[in-house]
Structure 1
Amino acid sequence: MANSKYEYVRSFEQSDTLLPNTWIVVRIDGRGFHSFSNRYNFTKPNDIRALNLMNAAASAVVKEIPDLCIAYGVSDEYSFIFHKTTTLFDRRSSKLLSTVVSTFTAFYIHLWRVHFPPDIALQPPHLPTFDARTICYPTLANLRDYLSWRQVDCHINNLYNTTFWAMRQKGGMGPREVEEELKGTLASDKNEILWGRFGINYNDENEIFKKGSVVFCQYELEEPAEGRTDTLALEEDEATAVPDTEPSRTQKERAKKVRAKASVVVRHIDIIKDDFWERRPWISSGKPGKPLAVEEQ
């Protein structure tokens, strides 16, 4: 940038560099998606086309931004996680946030026609937009608790919505009548309503509805090592850990080539239990795993 008398305006910019050695979450949410879903007649309580579109857009983001180590989505929300060692954009919040949300929105619009028929084309002013925020978590245990919170929330909301819409669509009840009956009910009560009145076994519902979607690069799964440290011990170790040494240019290039060959996959599985993390150590380590001998289908 050339020097000029106007350059002083740069002094008004504020630093928004995020804390070092912390896991960065960029969570995006659909803006006004209740009205948006009604405008395009999304199926209630879950529209598989809309969920597949969200997952396709999220997968594209993970492919476009190699520093992302995992993403988790449900409904019109997605959380994208940068490894604690990332130096992308010098860890500036505004750059990370705007890059993720704009890339996601671009792919969401671009891929719309792949997942919805031509007669349901996007039309202004009813276009999808997303807001976003950044959150820093100091330890892997904190990050896992965050993702566990989102997956538990997915189950709670889906059980409620499944029951709500069964009572509306199959039971012929009005929205206020349903809300009043469901007020204060427990999970067991909702399961009883679904099975007792409508013959719906919630356990048979699609896993994508109950568990949400996890997006990550796939490598060869590893067997859990004996005597793994528990989460609390891991948190204590991380709390006092010195930040990892910056990898050399050669190491970065090698890792980049391995990641480029890895498939980005979408899974609808439990990420709360240790098994998910122990069999996929590359997510927490930030280093590529062993390439698959046979590519997953």
Structure 2
Amino acid sequence: MPMLHHGDCLEILPTLPDSSVDLVVTSPPYNLGINYRSFDDTAGRSEFLDWCRAWATELKRVLSDDGSFFLNVGASPANPLLPHQIVLAFTEGPEALFVLQNTFHWIKSITVETRSSEQISVGHFKPINSKRFVNDCHEYVFHLTKRGEVEVDRRGAGVPYQDKSNIARWGHTGGVDRRCRGNTWFIPYDTINSRDKERPHPASFPIALVEQCILLHGKGSATRLLDPFLGIGSSAVAAKRQGLAEFTGIELDDYYLSIARQRLEEVDLSETGPGK
């Protein structure tokens, strides 16, 4: 049964037991002036980083020693260093909270050229009108752990080989048509007709992004997942679709939380399940 809490994560996280979660997947406010309903996203940079360290300290406490913390952080063209400043605040110095074990690039939109020289553009991005900057089509997902030694299920989160001859050519495949996906994840948003009705949050991530983290974590249905910035509940839906044993979500805004609850009720488990 998912546990969804209404309130400030800095007040609710201290009530959770030590080592009570295996996996954290979250995306905090980015301090880029985004128009959230119940949060001021315009703090000074130093104040913002101190706030991030405060909740990250609690996450370290509640995370098991072999747990993983996947932190999704975006930037803006005028603020490109923000994601790196956050991860440095978590990983540098004698009081470092975490080790950066992997860095993933969540690709929202991309154009590729095929072997026949055809250009294919896929995905969605928010266009900008600028003479200095190009459209920003990706965000970071930082994989943080306590010691940098957590094993992951590379194949569980992998993809089939494009060239099937590689399955027999490379001994490490064991004859299995599955390879590591690597650190670039093309996960587009679902196409929607009305943002207000279908995605009423200014900075949500796709359900599939959380599912990718769950599969890479590799502990299956026994996973205890936490999202301290639940938003409209993509991580809760992912947990239910993957059949996880426990999910805990925290959200400051009552309206976003109501949407999360509604989305959970609408999950059709006949079309989902572990690994799907």
Task: Judge same fold: TM > 0.5, yes or no.
Answer: no
- Normalised by the length of structure 1, the TM-score is 0.25
Q: Which has the higher helix share?
A: 1
Larger-Rg structure: 1
